[in-house]
Structure 1
Amino acid sequence: MKQNSIKAWLLASRPKTLTGAAIPVMTGCTLAYIYGFFNPIPAVLCFLFAFLMQIDANFINDLYDFLKGTDRADRLGPERACAQGWISPEAMKKGILVTTILASLTGVGLLWYGGWEMIPVGVLCILFAFLYTAGPYPLAYHGWGDVLVLIFFGFVPVGCTFYVMAHSWNLSVTFASLACGLLIDTLLMVNNFRDREQDAISGKRTLVVRFGARAGLIAYFLLGVIACWCCFYFLWIGKIYAVILPQLYLLLHILTTMKMARINRGKELNLILGETSRNMFLFALLLTIGLLL
């Protein structure tokens, strides 16, 4: 592959991960719609900001894992751009700068709808995208990844998407945010479960490294189950289909958990990564349909 080519940048952006950015924004838009606040322009801006921040975080993660020596030859996950030489570290730094600026400009557009209170939220999104793998205390290397997913793939995108349209917050937003955060954390748990041996060597103290593979498997299963249980709140607002339909996700989640336990280690766990992404999207789609019915 030609270094720093368009194809290299496309692969470095990890387009398959954009599902995790789209799901919480889609949920926030759906909640805004059922409460009568939906506005297409801020909705588009929220999707754009989420996608840009996801790509930005992917670039930062790619660069700093490479610089720290985490992406070694024994890596089991999808190939990384800097480690493979597809993109030079210098070019990746420029790419990070460009995506950060583009995300910031999109955030400025959201100020028109959400107000100046969106500024600290945007600043925190950018700050923690760096702190996740960069700096003297990279949060992902000290077991904080799951907490950050819950916040920045749950409460921030769902809540802020709703807020920029409704200028309010309610319990529906809280439970939907919690469901999305827990759901998307299953994706991180698969990565950490697969990479547990390599992470231990690299000094990356994820929850799976700290508590073992069995704990990681149980956590993966419980994250999906509790995400479904969060949907029972919607009975209180008369949205019975928003309770029933997401429970269909549990069947696929259980089957994927069983397959994950059977495979246990190795590159074959990347199949579980794909299935988890599929299951997440199905959950979000079922919840959206249930809320709209």
Structure 2
Amino acid sequence: MNVQTNSVVPAEKGWRVWWQLTRPHTLTAAFVPVLLGTALAVKNNSIHIPLFLAMLFASLLIQVATNMFNEYFDYARGLDNENSVGIGGAIVRNGVKPGTVLRLGFTLFGVALLLGLYISASSSWWIAVIGLICMAVAYFYTGGPHPIAYTPFGELMSGFFMGVVIIQISFFIQTGYITNVSILVSIPVSILIGTIMLANNIRDLDGDQKNGRKTLAILVGRQNAIKLLAGMFIVSYSWIVLLILFTDTSPWLLITFISIPKALKAVRGFIGKTEPLQMMPAMKATAQTNTIFGFLMSIGLFIGYFL
């Protein structure tokens, strides 16, 4: 859900309608975990490229489908309008039929399911079970009678399933096993995925509160939510230091610290802001932190393996 502003958000045209519907700023939360899980597997295994690509596209398709379900259900509940900030706007601004958005979401789920069958047949059928659970969580994040996104557990669920679970699946399909290190390495990226959801909820706090949501940002209040966001960034970077000190991971992981300015920009961008449009740069910086951090972490692993 996204709140209304006093300025009219312009409608998109042509292919931009469908591109905006994917909510591209959220897609980093789909491909960064796959990249990191695969990078973890390089140390002891050669990478199976078709499996990597199948996992990458399946994750992206599920994320895009989730965004479409979000678009549909928020519209169906009367929470979005043509002035809403942070949505694709295909329904309320561009005239796309709600049923079309819903069917497209299920179609993408179907394609992801086919990719999942290939992944499972090539690795383990337990992956199919876990994948179906992930898809169910993706749907019920905004669908169903009690959407996860309307509760204080949105950050936890998204971080766990899109972070820990996707990273472990990506690692497992390349190696046939998971390790303590693979789990520990997944934690900071999982936290940063949670920050994307928290940033969204900080931006939408006023509108969500009016519509009866009970997000974490609402429960703790705007100022405490911003402090929590900063704390999540601090834990993520501190976790890298702990990984280097207490596991056999490479000191090259410290290159993730290059992304710290983006994290600072995200936190500072929320301080003193109350209007959704004012907070959009902070949201963008939060997503960019996850992207840069994840890429640099993967690069650090690669360098550590081969030097």
TM-score range, shorter chain: over 0.9
1:248-282 deviation per Cα after TM superposition (whole angstroms, max 9, x unaligned): 32343123312321434331111112222222221
The one of 85, 108, 111 aligned to 2:120: 111
Q: Secondary structure at the match of 1:82?
A: coil
Report how many residues are paired.
291
Compute the displacement of 1:94 (Å): 1.7
Structure 2 residue 249 is the aligned partner of structure 1 residue 246: no
Counterpart residue number, 1:11: 20
Distance 1:248 1:15 in 2: 23
Structure 2 letter corresponding to 1:134: G
Match for 1:101 among 72, 85, 110? 110
Spell out the pairing of 1:144-183 with structure 2 (5 A cutoff). 144-183=153-192
1:220 aligns with 2:229: yes
| Deviations, residues 201-223 of structure 1 (Å, cap 9, x unaligned) | 11111101111001210111111
- Code of the residue aligned with 1:12 in structure 2: it is L
Show structure 1 runs of 4+ deviating over 6 A.
none
Equivalent residue in structure 1 for 2:100, among 91, 105, 112: 91
**Which residue, 270, 278, 284 being the options, matches 2:288?**
278
Whether the aligned pair in 2 keeps the contact of 1:189 and 1:220 (CA below 8 Å) is yes
Pair 1:130-2:121 in alignment: no
**Using the alignment, how far apart are the partners of 1:11 and 1:45 within structure 2?**
24
Match of 2:196 among 179, 183, 187: 187
Following superposition, the deviation at residue 9 of structure 1 comes to 2.3
Distance 1:238 1:141, change over 3 A: closer
- Higher mean Cα deviation, 193-202 or 261-270? 261-270
Q: Is the 8 A contact 2:23 2:87 kept in 1?
A: no
Change (3 A) 1:77 1:15: closer
Q: Which moved more, 1:252-261 or 1:195-204?
A: 252-261
- Paired residue for 1:53? 62
1:75 touches 1:198 (CA, 8 Å); kept in 2?
no
Identity of aligned residues (%): 21
Output the amino acid matched with 2:237.
C
Secondary structure at the counterpart of residue 214 of structure 2? coil
2:69 touches 2:142 (CA, 8 Å); kept in 1? Answer: yes
Map of 2:7 onto structure 1: none
The equivalent of 2:273 in structure 1 is 263
1:196 maps to what in 2?
205
Distance 2:138 2:49 in 1: 27
Partner of 1:75: 84
* Aligned 8 A contact 1:9 1:87 in 2: no
Backbone CA RMSD of aligned residues: 1.9
Higher mean alpha-carbon deviation, 93-102 vs 194-203, is at 93-102
Quote the Cα distance in structure 2 between the aligned partners of 1:291 and 1:251: 22
Contact 2:21 2:87 in 1 (8 A): no
More helix by share: 1
- Matches of 1:9 and 1:262 in 2, distance apart? 33
Preserved CA contact (<8 Å) 1:225 1:250: no
Amino acid at match of 1:92: V
Per-residue displacement from partner, 1:95-118 (whole Å, max 9, x unpaired)?
A: 122111111011011012221111
Deviations 1:149-204 (A, max 9, x none): 12122111100000111111112211222111101111111111011000001111
In structure 2, list runs of 5 or more residues that go unmatched. 1-10
TM-score with structure 1 setting the length: 0.93
